[in-house]
């Protein structure tokens, strides 16, 4: 029985083994025979890697083919550690850096542990501290607090979310805070954490502890000091960044000397893995010239990763166009990278080359600008601004002019457009920068050099900011030809004379002409030509309303004129609209009753929110939701504009405003906001002369003047002439304004008189051709914030208020920052309210601002030439230029150079249209 059972079990086991072996054989047959090709391909794919060779970037050239952006061939030193031991890598790295240093060549230093005088620090911490200090932020400020402080500083609408706010900071103000918007953490902190994780180190290690562990990990000789060991880690960090891709070479140094090239090639047997290579880098042969048009290169950011790396196949380390033509034409300028397929082993070491394709260069982009004319525009603009700052003489090729002094004039723009085509011939913005500093990745120091000189002053010079396309400001009297055309369309007789009485009084408000405001004079009888020549506000008040305000008589229009009509014509001229240029540009909505109402609501909301501590109890100011609800409630009454008594009752019943502050809040809302929100005849007056809610960029103004010179035919603006191999830029069909050519000539006649006998007569005296033009100035409300508000208050404290000590203010300031870090992230943000609080609310903001400078006026000049058959339109705007006359010499130099250059060169020819 037992024997029989034993035999039975034996055969069962044997059968099972046979079945398993049979299954294994069948599976082996499937894998090695039937699925051989599939598995072989899979194995090849795992052992095959691709190495890309970056394609040369396409050139950027002017309309005549002169190089603006090109590529420069340089020698590089690369290090491939495939097959090398740890000791060999260390020895070769140390020898290599010594050679580079001996020959004066710079080499990579992305290793973030800094050693100075025996002190060990993370460079990330240094950079964060420097950034916070530059913003006047406290060193313990969180990323979210810093971001909110920037929102307040740049007056970003508090209603928009953080992503929209970040976009506005970047696109409008050129501010790129080192903050991850999604997680609200400093990028410096995340980069430090990534560095430590890359080396499998604890993320809480100090810099000295991390360095010591790395020495042990990579067996750095004890004979070397930490400073010497760090040189090795500068190389090793580049190698580590490659991860398991040992078949790739790390670039250790770029643009090395011939001495280094010769040495490495001669000592190749002793320096295993080190090779001399060559590559192209972006090069701008004209330095700062056209910097705002060209733009600059930069690394692919986190938010761009998906678009460029995932979708378009870029290498994560590629540099891309970040601004200007480099950005807008990226898809054409970027070439097709070469690819070398190599076989590697399981450790990632190189074995052999399978195939290789050569890179294909990007396409060349031709601009509409004339490089010589551009240099004239930039030189003239820079000299004019510098002369205005000092009140010295502008000395140009076509004349000299003594400038009136306005020391705060620090920026401006000049734009020249071909009247018949809309092509940009020159576009200058000051201050500018050298895009070469971005060509291989910008340093922290260079990045700081192109930021605002005073982040607390929105008009402070900022090298990266393109004033020509982004500064949307009031145009002043240069807008008056728009009002003239609107009146002509409504039936104004341009020869009809109106007697200037000097001013118009409506209610308790007076609107005066410049002659009246200056010396109680008048311009006498004015028709359209003399009204434009003398820039007579009174004349334009009348034609903008269809009424002679002196006699009360109608001007007899066929169609009623209104602000809506004037804005309709402004829109036809391209004002407040995108021009079509291939660059980022700012557009401000045209003036309207709705825009004024919404603007007033936003201003009231911001005022109440920023001064809430003065009117609400602490229990509300510390409750964000409750405070916002109260402010929303008050702002919602703006359109209704209740009586003073009604507002008092509503504030008491519907909000938590402190009882003794109810009447103060009521009067502020009623008289400073509610009453001002309604559209009045005063708004019509202001709009008609280019003040009020008018706001346009120099580029839009140039397009408008070109349209005037083209007798009402508006072209799409372009700065790209075409792309080599693709063709010429194809534009939208021109738009024609419904106005008779004869009427347009009447407007231009007035502008001719401005140059002959008006404000530009001194500038263009003796000029070889007749020029038509118009001047204008526009005010900027408010005070210039000093770089350091704390220092300002401290130095003027005794003049602002008596009986309050600085220690009182300092104590209140620290308490405000402690109680409400969101609203008071910096001492500069807190000091004014601290002074108000320390004074027992006796001090007002106006008293604090009393010793600050006010803004000088924007200076505008718009011109076209020759006046009888305009070919070029030139617009110049100086920020805080003071008087329009100061902008005139720049326009004169550009027009003069244009006339001298006309017909000298043959333009690039494109036979096909852009696809």
- Contact call for residues 914 and 732 (beta carbons, < 8 A): no
Provide the pLDDT for residue 913: 43
Which pLDDT band, with edges at 50, 70 and 90, does 301 fall under?
Answer: confident
Q: Is the pLDDT of residue 637 over 70?
A: yes
Which pLDDT band, with edges at 50, 70 and 90, does 40 fall under?
Answer: low
Provide the pLDDT for residue 38: 61
Average confidence (pLDDT) over 33-54: 61
Alpha-carbon distance of 762 to 740, in angstroms, equals 32
Q: What values do phi and psi take at 772, rounded to 5?
A: -110, 140
The two three-digit tokens of residue 608, written as one number: 């109440």
Provide the pLDDT for residue 33: 63
User: 63-96 pLDDT, tens per residue?
Assistant: 999 999 999 988 999 998 888 899 999 999 999 9
Alpha-carbon distance of 520 to 525, in angstroms, equals 16
Q: Is the pLDDT of residue 662 over 90?
A: yes
Average confidence (pLDDT) over 370-376: 98
Alpha-carbon distance of 853 to 410, in angstroms, equals 15
Q: Is the pLDDT of residue 912 over 60?
A: no
Provide the pLDDT for residue 915: 37
Q: Are strands 67-79 and 274-283 parallel, antiparallel or unpaired?
A: antiparallel
Q: How big is the chain by its Cα radius of gyration, in Å?
A: 35
Specify the residue for token string 């920052």: 817
Which pLDDT band, with edges at 50, 70 and 90, does 353 fall under?
Answer: confident
Cα dist. 353→81, 340, 345, 357, 725 in Å? 17, 7, 13, 12, 33
User: 146-161 pLDDT, tens per residue?
Assistant: 998 888 878 788 778 8
In SS3 terms, 210-269 reads as HHHHHHHHCCCCCCCCHHHHHHHHHHHHHHHHCCCCCCCCEEEEECCCHHHHHHHHHCCC
DSSP single-letter state for residue 451: S
Average confidence (pLDDT) over 57-63: 95
Average confidence (pLDDT) over 438-462: 87
Which pLDDT band, with edges at 50, 70 and 90, does 30 fall under?
Answer: low
Which pLDDT band, with edges at 50, 70 and 90, does 20 fall under?
Answer: confident
Which pLDDT band, with edges at 50, 70 and 90, does 518 fall under?
Answer: confident
Q: Are strands 720-723 and 727-728 parallel, antiparallel or unpaired?
A: antiparallel
Non-local (6+) Cβ contacts of 15 within 8 A are none
Alpha-carbon distance of 526 to 532, in angstroms, equals 9
Which pLDDT band, with edges at 50, 70 and 90, does 2 fall under?
Answer: low
Provide the pLDDT for residue 906: 77
Share of the chain above pLDDT 70, in %: 94
DSSP single-letter state for residue 554: B
Specify the residue for token string 């039936």: 491
Provide the pLDDT for residue 622: 83
In the beta sheet, which residues pair with residue 722? Answer: 366, 728
Considering only residues 254 and 613, tell me which one the structure prediction assigns the higher pLDDT: 254
In the beta sheet, which residues pair with residue 428? Answer: 414
User: 774-786 pLDDT, tens per residue?
Assistant: 999 998 888 999 9
Q: Is the pLDDT of residue 278 over 80?
A: yes
Provide the pLDDT for residue 145: 87
In SS3 terms, 653-689 reads as HHCCCCHHHHHHHHHHHHHHHHHHHCCCHHHHHHHHC
Q: What values do phi and psi take at 465, rounded to 5?
A: -85, 125
Considering only residues 30 and 198, tell me which one the structure prediction assigns the higher pLDDT: 198
- Contact call for residues 528 and 492 (beta carbons, < 8 A): yes
How many CB atoms lie under 10 A from the CB of residue 274? 22
Which pLDDT band, with edges at 50, 70 and 90, does 167 fall under?
Answer: confident
Q: What is the value of pTM for the model shown?
A: 0.85
How many CB atoms lie under 10 A from the CB of residue 120? 17
Q: Are strands 365-367 and 60-61 parallel, antiparallel or unpaired?
A: parallel
Provide the pLDDT for residue 350: 60
**32 three-state secondary structure:** helix
Alpha-carbon distance of 347 to 349, in angstroms, equals 6
Provide the pLDDT for residue 31: 58
Share of the chain above pLDDT 90, in %: 63
Nearest of 135, 61, 142, 717 to residue 366 by alpha carbon:
61
Which pLDDT band, with edges at 50, 70 and 90, does 34 fall under?
Answer: low
Helix (H) or strand (E) holding 524: strand 524-526
Burial of 741 by CB count in 10 Å (0-12 exposed, 13-18 middle, 19+ buried)? Answer: exposed
Average confidence (pLDDT) over 466-483: 97
Average confidence (pLDDT) over 638-648: 94
Half-sphere exposure of 221 (CA within 13 A, CB side): 12
Provide the pLDDT for residue 47: 67
Query: What is the rounded average pLDDT for all residues in the chain?
Result: 89
Nearest of 591, 566, 547, 553 to residue 488 by alpha carbon:
566
Q: Is the pLDDT of residue 210 over 70?
A: yes
Helix (H) or strand (E) holding 48: strand 48-53
Provide the pLDDT for residue 453: 86
The two three-digit tokens of residue 719, written as one number: 């700065």
Nearest of 405, 397, 377 to residue 886 by alpha carbon:
405
Selection from 251-260, 536-545, 605-614 with the highest mean pLDDT: 536-545
Average confidence (pLDDT) over 583-606: 91
């Amino acid at each position: 029985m037992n024997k029989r059972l034993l035999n039975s079990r034996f055969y069962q086991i044997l059968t099972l083994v046979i079945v398993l072996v049979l299954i294994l054989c069948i599976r082996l047959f499937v894998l090695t025979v039937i699925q051989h090709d599939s598995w072989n391909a899979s194995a090849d794919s795992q052992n095959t890697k691709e190495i890309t060779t970056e394609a040369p970037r396409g050139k950027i050239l002017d309309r005549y083919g002169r190089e603006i952006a090109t590529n420069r061939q340089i020698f590089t030193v690369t290090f491939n550690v495939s097959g090398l031991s740890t000791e060999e890598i260390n020895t070769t790295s140390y020898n290599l850096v010594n050679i580079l240093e001996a020959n004066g060549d710079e080499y990579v230093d992305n290793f973030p542990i800094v050693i100075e005088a025996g002190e060990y620090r993370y460079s990330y911490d240094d950079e964060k501290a420097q950034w916070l200090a530059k913003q006047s932020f406290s060193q313990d400020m969180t990323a979210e607090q810093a971001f909110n402080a920037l929102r307040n500083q740049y007056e970003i609408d508090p209603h928009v979310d953080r992503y929209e706010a970040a976009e506005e900071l970047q696109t409008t103000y050129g501010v790129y805070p080192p903050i991850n918007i999604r997680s609200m953490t400093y990028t410096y902190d995340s980069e430090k954490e990534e560095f430590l994780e890359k080396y499998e180190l604890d993320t809480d290690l100090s810099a000295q502890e991390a360095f010591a562990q790395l020495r042990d990990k990579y067996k750095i000789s004890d004979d070397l000091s930490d400073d010497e060991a760090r040189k090795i880690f500068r190389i090793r960090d580049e190698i580590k960044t490659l991860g398991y891709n040992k078949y790739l070479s790390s670039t250790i140094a770029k643009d090395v000397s011939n001495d280094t090239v010769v040495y490495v090639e001669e000592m190749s047997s002793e320096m295993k893995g080190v090779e001399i290579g060559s590559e192209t880098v972006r090069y701008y042969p004209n330095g700062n010239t056209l910097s705002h048009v060209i733009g600059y290169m930069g690394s692919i950011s986190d938010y761009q990763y998906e678009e460029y790396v995932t979708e378009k196949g870029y290498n994560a380390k590629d540099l891309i166009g970040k601004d200007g033509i480099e950005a807008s034409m990226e898809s054409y300028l970027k070439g097709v990278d070469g690819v070398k397929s190599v076989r590697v082993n399981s450790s990632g070491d190189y074995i052999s080359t399978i195939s290789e394709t050569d890179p294909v260069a990007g396409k060349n982009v031709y601009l509409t600008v004339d490089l010589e004319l551009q240099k004239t525009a930039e030189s003239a603009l820079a000299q004019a601004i510098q002369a205005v700052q000092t009140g010295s003489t502008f000395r140009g090729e076509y004349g000299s002019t003594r400038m009136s002094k306005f020391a705060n004039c620090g920026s401006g723009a000049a734009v020249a457009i071909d009247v018949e085509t809309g092509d940009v011939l020159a576009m200058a913005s000051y201050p500018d920068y050298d895009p070469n500093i971005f060509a291989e990745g910008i340093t922290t120091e260079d990045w700081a050099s192109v930021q605002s000189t005073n982040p607390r002053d929105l008009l402070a010079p900022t090298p990266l900011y393109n004033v020509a396309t982004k500064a949307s400001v009031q145009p002043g009297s240069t807008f008056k030809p728009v009002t003239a055309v609107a009146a002509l369309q409504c039936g104004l007789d341009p020869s009809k004379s109106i007697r200037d009485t000097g001013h118009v009084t409506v209610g308790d408000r007076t609107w005066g002409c410049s002659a009246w405001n200056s010396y109680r004079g008048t311009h006498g009888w004015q028709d359209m030509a003399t009204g434009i020549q003398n820039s007579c506000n009174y004349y334009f008040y009348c034609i903008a309303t269809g009424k002679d305000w002196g006699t009360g008589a109608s001007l007899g229009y066929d169609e009623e004129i209104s602000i809506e009509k004037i804005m309709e014509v402004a829109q036809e001229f391209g004002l407040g609209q995108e021009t079509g240029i291939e660059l980022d540009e700012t557009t401000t909505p045209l003036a309207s009753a709705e825009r004024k109402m919404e603007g007033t609501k936003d201003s009231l909301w911001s005022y109440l929110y920023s001064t809430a501590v003065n009117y609400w109890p602490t229990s509300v100011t510390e409750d964000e939701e409750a405070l916002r609800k109260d402010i929303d409630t008050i702002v919602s009454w703006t359109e209704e504009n209740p009586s003073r008594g009604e507002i008092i009752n509503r504030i008491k019943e519907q909000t938590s405003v402190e009882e003794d502050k109810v009447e103060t809040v009521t009067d502020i809302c009623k008289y400073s906001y509610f009453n001002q929100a309604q559209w009045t005849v005063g708004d019509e007056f202001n709009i008609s002369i280019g003040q009020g809610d008018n706001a346009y960029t120099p580029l839009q103004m140039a397009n408008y003047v070109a349209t005037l010179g083209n007798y009402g035919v508006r072209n799409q603006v372009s700065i790209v002439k075409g792309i080599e191999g693709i063709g010429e830029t194809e534009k939208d069909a021109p738009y024609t304004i419904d106005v008779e050519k004869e009427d347009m000539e009447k407007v231009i006649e007035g502008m001719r008189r401005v140059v002959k006998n008006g404000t530009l007569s001194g500038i263009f005296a003796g000029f070889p051709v007749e020029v038509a033009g118009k001047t204008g100035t526009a005010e900027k409300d408010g005070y210039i914030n000093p770089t350091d508000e704390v220092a300002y208050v401290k130095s003027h404290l005794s003049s602002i208020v008596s009986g309050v000590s600085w220690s009182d203010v300092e104590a209140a300031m620290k308490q405000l920052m402690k109680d409400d870090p969101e609203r008071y992230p910096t001492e500069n943000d807190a000091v004014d309210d601290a002074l108000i609080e320390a004074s027992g609310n006796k001090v007002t903001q106006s008293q604090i601002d009393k010793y600050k400078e006010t803004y000088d006026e924007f200076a505008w000049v718009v011109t076209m030439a020759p006046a009888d058959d305009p070919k070029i339109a030139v617009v110049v705007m100086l920020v805080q230029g003071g008087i329009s006359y100061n902008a005139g010499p720049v326009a004169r130099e550009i027009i003069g150079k244009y006339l001298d250059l006309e017909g000298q060169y043959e333009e690039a020819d494109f036979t096909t249209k852009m696809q």
